[in-house]
Structures are given as structure tokens and as C-alpha cells.
A = this chain, B = another copy of it.
């Protein structure tokens, strides 16, 4: 296959595609860094997609029923910025392109969700885009089932590179998409046989078409520089009853006569000489950031193509049944429905009354039983641990092709794919997703959790079996560093509730956290109800609070604990109080919320000047912040072991006796 046919300048497809190529080459050159190769290689495919197929209205890039375009190969960010500019999306000007990769610009090195129009998801870490798109495509199907095909009926397109397809998460994503028959998901693979180290045959011999077919996908391969072939493939994919992979054979850096087809075009500016040679080779007589008027006009017309579709959709929305209209509007607002927490509050009151001893994973299920009926957008699932994570409650039918009306997703043993799909469901705008696995497997999901934090999307990770308290499964299954590693990540709320009351409160707080992900770390083992006093507010909302104040004098000891260890702190307090040592117990269900309180409140809780002991069945990373230099920590110093939970707590010295001894040694 050769691609040496000269393209005709200033008119039609070739000129439009070359607009993308030169904007990418020029912006990367101006920034002195970036990735020109992919936008230049995929310019033809993107031009076909955006001018003939993609349903969008550039005047309103957020139109809810638009087709989604996900740039999984995020390093080629100039492609999406160029498209936003060319199609005329508000807020993307030529100045923005000239400021590519500069401080404060919209045009970041990799596409950042919320920074620039047309960016549906933050990408860059490879494989995340395709896996997030699965969630978007699933969100579309579920929303169509709920609101009707006249209000929700769009495609999700993904542009993925070789790197995306080599990442393991891509397998989880395509397997899930194939199983769920997400036929409106279309992946355009930039099949250029080049990765950073050189030709892809340095490291891979995969037949990706066969791999996708093995997961139930439609597959085809086309010359990615032949617009009609690309168009025919997309048209066929849109007619398929399954998700589609279109391998687009392209030349990376297409048009750069001396560098195209090599890794040299991937991640560095072409250089002034090569750009000049590219101009000559493609017959492009325009200067840097200059574009032919006819081509720009054609692009703007493409950007306006969807205005009528958009208007028709608005008409259908206005004409729709009021209940449906209001439900869709409410879902899209991201607000929780009026009265969403009434049942939860009643549940909390009952808990305080009945004081059950239950695992916090069970408490989570009980909270969900109050929340799921009240919040129609709440959808859940688990990575094949439904019964252990307690994530499925009555009334949640499974989501299964071709009926997407259910609210429970069997994600399979795919923690990473689940986390990315949750991001996609949230980004689609019609769902608040939660998903379950064991806390120790947060490691598998971590790159996707990070993107949720960076984007600021609301997803709730239900992570049970949160310490050595899970017992016999042993150290491979016992998190000791995971609380710390998740707390280290910016913009994540890590909740570790102490009992059923706190669990309910933390669920409420997680759902109210619209701007980022939450993790609920929950016990396998039973926990007593410690919060036995009725309170008008939710004490957990401050992140930490005095659960039991010192009695019989000024506080001398402060015991700080989270989750299952708060009960140990309470036992230790009883012992210390019995010895006449006024001791307070502080429960710290969410460090991030506590850190956001004012200093006066924090001091009131932490008790500087008292002997402080932290108790958590985890490593001490981060605890020194709350304990001060003289404080003690009772917890783990290494990996766990395989044994019944009570024996492990004794073995590792996480006991009330150890807490009492640590406190008294410092008095």
C-alpha cells in the first residue's frame, strides 16, 4: 500500500485534512514539544468522520444526544483541538492553538476534560480512552432504555492507537463491550505499525482484528488515507449489530517526506526544514497557522451540520411526556432528586435505635437499599464479587443485551475496565455509577481512579475486605498500604466508616461529592454500632469528630481511629477511663474532609497537647500528620498473614491492650 498520490490543495477533503495536519505540525513546532505524527496520520479518517458521520452541533458541544468522540490516543491532542477550532466550537480560537502546551492554555499537552470544547474525556495514559468509551456507549444504551430512543440515540467513536490496544485494559474493555453488544461503539484504530521504540513488530505480533472478533466485534481493515473506503467502513459499522473495529492503515506523520512512517514523527516537532518540505510535498502554500478560506468554510459548514438535528431533538424533548422530560433533565443536571435522602435518614434513625453489629459491607448494602429506589440515576455493579461486596440490592435487574433497562452491571473479573467504564457512565451524564471489588484490588483500578480524580467525575468505588480483618485469604488479599495510597491521590475522598451509621452517612457524602471519585473502604467482619446518639447533622461530614469525649477531667489521651479500629479505640478508652485517665475517641471516616476544616475545629478534635494514639489496621504512612511527633501508632508494619481475623489482630498487636499500653507509656 502506498500513499504517494498528491492531494489537491485548498478544496475538498484533501485541503480539509491538510488543515488538521498543518495545525498540528505548526502548533507542535511552536510549542517545541508534542506529537505531530498521529494527527497527521489520522487527518483523513477524522475528516471523513467529522464531515460525514459525527452527529454534533459545534455551536453546543454539550448537546446531550451528540455522538461522543474519544481520542484514546491522547498524545495526538492537536487533532481534537484542530477539529474544535475548524468546526467552530465556541471557546477554541486560533490563539488557543498557538498557545498549545503553555501554562494556563486550554490546549494542554494531552486533552483535559473541562478545559477545551470537544474533549469528552481526559486521555493520555494509554488504553483509558477506549475503556472509558465503553462506559459512555453503555450509558447511551441504558439512557435510551430509560428515556426512549427519540431522546437518546447516538454513537460513540474512539480513535485508538497501537499503544491503546497493547494495554491490558483494552482487552477488558472490548470483552465487556462485545458481551454487552454495544453496537453503537465504533473504534477507529490508527493502524500505523509504529510505536515509540520503533516498528510495532519489535514487541507485538498480535492480529488485533482476530482478537476483537473473538470478543464479538465486527472488524474490517481499510486504507486510512482513502476517504471513500473509510466512509464505507464507518457506514457499515453503523449498521452492525455489534461493536465495530475499523483498522485504518495509515502512515504516521503523513506528508512529512523524510520522516513519515517512522517513530521520529511520534513525539517531537518535525523541525522547520521538514515542515517546509511537508508544505512542498502536500502543495500547501499557506504560512504557519494560516488556512485556506474555502477549507475553513467547508469545516464550519460541517460543524453546523448537526444544528437541525439538535433543534429536532430539542423539539422532541419539549414534546415528550412531562415525566420523561423532567427525569432526563434531572439526570443531566447531576443533582440528586428531591427527597433522595429521606429513606436514608429514616434508616439511620433505625440503626441508632437498633444498634446492629454488622459488617460495614453489609451496612453499605442496607444504605443502598434506601438509596437505589430514591435515586433513579444510581447504577451499580461489581467485578465478579457481587455477594462479597454486597452491591446488588432488591429491584436491580442485570443490564444484559439487548435489554439495557436494568441497573446492575456484572462487570466480570475486570477491575480496571470497570473503573474506566464507571468514568464513562458518569461522563455520559445520565448515571451515577458505583462498582465493587476488594480494597486490595484498588491497585488494578488505580489508573482509572486517577483519571476520575483528575477530571472530577462522580463515581463511587465500593471496596470491601478492607484490612487483615478479612482473615484467611492472606496477604495477597489484605490491603495494608491501600488507604494511604488512595489518600495520597488528589481529589479522592477515601471513606472508612466505623459502623453502620457512619456507613450510611459516608454513602450520602459520596453521592454529594459531584466533583470527584469516592472510595468506601468497608469491612468484611462485623462491627458494633458505636454512634448511638441522635444528631441533627452528619458528624461524618466533617471528616473526623469526637465520638466519645473524655470524662472526669481534662482530656489527657486522644485515640484516633478509622473503620473497624474505632471499636478497638472505644474498648481502650473504657480501660483508660476505668484507670481514671480521661480519654477521648475520635473517629476519622474521611481524612480529606477533615483536612478541609478550619484549624480551630481540627485542634478541638485532635487534642494537641494530649497523648495521641492512632489506630488503623494499615501502614502508618500519613498518620504522623494527625499524631504529631510524640504520638504513637498501633497498626501494621508490613504485609498481613493467612489466619482467622481475630488471631491476626492479636498477632499483629492491634488490640485495646496495645493501645492502652502505648498511651500509658507516653503519659
Taking Cβ atoms with an 8 Å cutoff, the residues of A that contact B are 31, 33-34, 74-75, 101-105, 108-110, 112, 122-126, 162-163, 166-172, 175-176, 178-179, 195-197, 200, 202-211, 213-216, 382, 384-388, 398, 410-414, 416-417, 440-441, 443-444, 446-447, 450-451, 453-454, 471-477, 480-481, 484-485, 487-491, 608, 619, 621-622, 624-625, 628-629, 637-639, 641-644, 647-648, 651
Contacts and interface: CB of A to CB of B under 8 A. Distances in A.
A109 B102 CA distance: 52
A411 to B, nearest CB: 7
25 contacts: A33-B473, A104-B643, A108-B474, A108-B475, A109-B477, A124-B477, A162-B413, A163-B413, A166-B384, A168-B170, A168-B171, A175-B206, A179-B204, A196-B386, A196-B387, A197-B387, A203-B410, A210-B213, A443-B450, A454-B476, A454-B639, A481-B485, A481-B488, A484-B621, A485-B485
Contact of A446 (B101, B410, B446): B446
Contacts of A210: 210-211, 213-214
Contacts of A471: 33
Q: How many chain copies?
A: 2
Ranked nearest first, the 8 interchain pairs of A and B with the lowest CB-CB distance are A168-B168, A203-B412, A124-B476, A103-B643, A171-B171, A210-B214, A485-B485, A108-B642
Contact of A480 (B168, B211, B215, B490): B490
A101 B413 contact: no
Given A34-B472, A215-B205, A443-B446, A102 B454 contact: no
B103 A476 contact: no
Contacts of A126: 413
A200 B211 CA distance: 19
Given A179-B206, A485-B485, 13 more contacts: A75-B473, A103-B644, A103-B647, A109-B473, A112-B475, A125-B441, A168-B170, A175-B204, A197-B386, A454-B639, A480-B490, A491-B638, A608-B629
A582 B109 CA distance: 42
A642 B204 contact: no
Interface centre among A126, A204, A215, A639 (most CB of B within 10 A): A204
B109 A474 contact: yes
A178 B206 contact: yes
A241 B513 CA distance: 55
A642 B110 contact: yes
A112 B641 CA distance: 10
A663 B607 CA distance: 26
A472 B171 contact: no
Contacts of A480: 490
B412 A204 contact: yes
A417 B203 CA distance: 12
Contact of A621 (B176, B473, B621, B641): B621
B168 A384 contact: no
Nearest to A131: B168
Contacts of A488: 481, 484-485, 488, 619, 621-622
A149 B202 CA distance: 25
Nearest to A392: B197
A34 B643 CA distance: 11
Contact of A398 (B202, B491, B643): B202
Contact of A642 (B101, B168, B200, B484): B101
A201 to B, nearest CB: 8
Contact of A172 (B167, B196, B473): B167
A625 B623 CA distance: 8
Nearest to A176: B203
Given A167-B168, A643-B101, A214 B204 contact: no
A642 B197 contact: no
A475 B112 CA distance: 9
A517 to B, nearest CB: 13
Given A108-B641, A203-B411, A619 B484 contact: no
A567 B637 CA distance: 32
A99 B34 CA distance: 59
A102 B171 CA distance: 37
B206 A621 contact: no
A553 B442 CA distance: 50
Contact of A195 (B215, B413, B487): B413
A388 B196 contact: yes
B31 A472 contact: yes
A123 B474 CA distance: 11
Nearest to A626: B624
